[in-house]
Structure 1
Amino acid sequence: MILTGATVLIIGAGAAGFGTAEALRRSGHTGRIIVLGAERHAPYDRPPLSKQVLSGAWEPERARLRTAEQLRQLDAELLLDDAAAGLDSERHRVTTTAGRRLSGDAVVIATGVSPRELPGLTGIDGVQGFRSLDDALVLRDNLQDARHLVVLGDGVLGAEIAASARSQGADVTLVGPQTAPLSWQLGPLVGEELAAVHHEHGVRLRPGRQLDRVITRHQRVTGIVLDDGEHLPADLIVVAAGSTPNTGWLADSGLELDDHDRSVRCDAACRAAEDIYAVGDVARWHHRGLGRSIRLENRTNAGEQALAVAQNLITAGEPAPYRPVPYFWTDQFEIKIQAYGLPSPRAAVTMLDGDLDRRRFLLQYTEDDRVTAVVGCNMPKQTRQHRRLVLESFRDQPAPAIA
Structure 2
Amino acid sequence: MTQTQRPDDVFVDSSQIEETPQNDHMRILVATDLHIGYAEKILGRDEDSIRTFEEVLQIASREEVDFVLLGGDLYHENNPSREMQHRVTRLLRRYCLNDRPVALRFLSDPVVNFAHSAFGNVNYEDSNINVGLPIFTIHGNHDDLSGKGLTALDILHESGLINLFGKFEEIDQFIVSPILLVKGKTKLALYGIGSQRDDRLCRAFREYYLEEEIRFLRPKEDTESWFNILVLHQNRPVRTRARSTGGHLPENLIPSFFDLVIWGHEHECKIDPQYYENGVNVCGDGFYIIQPGSTIATALSPEEAKPKHIALVTISGRKFFSQKIALETPRQILFADLAITIKPPSTVSKNSRPKNMPDEKLIAAEVEKMLAEAEKMKTTRQAHPPLLRLRVTYPESWANFMVSYFG
Q: Which of the two has higher C-alpha Rg?
A: 2
More strand by share: 1
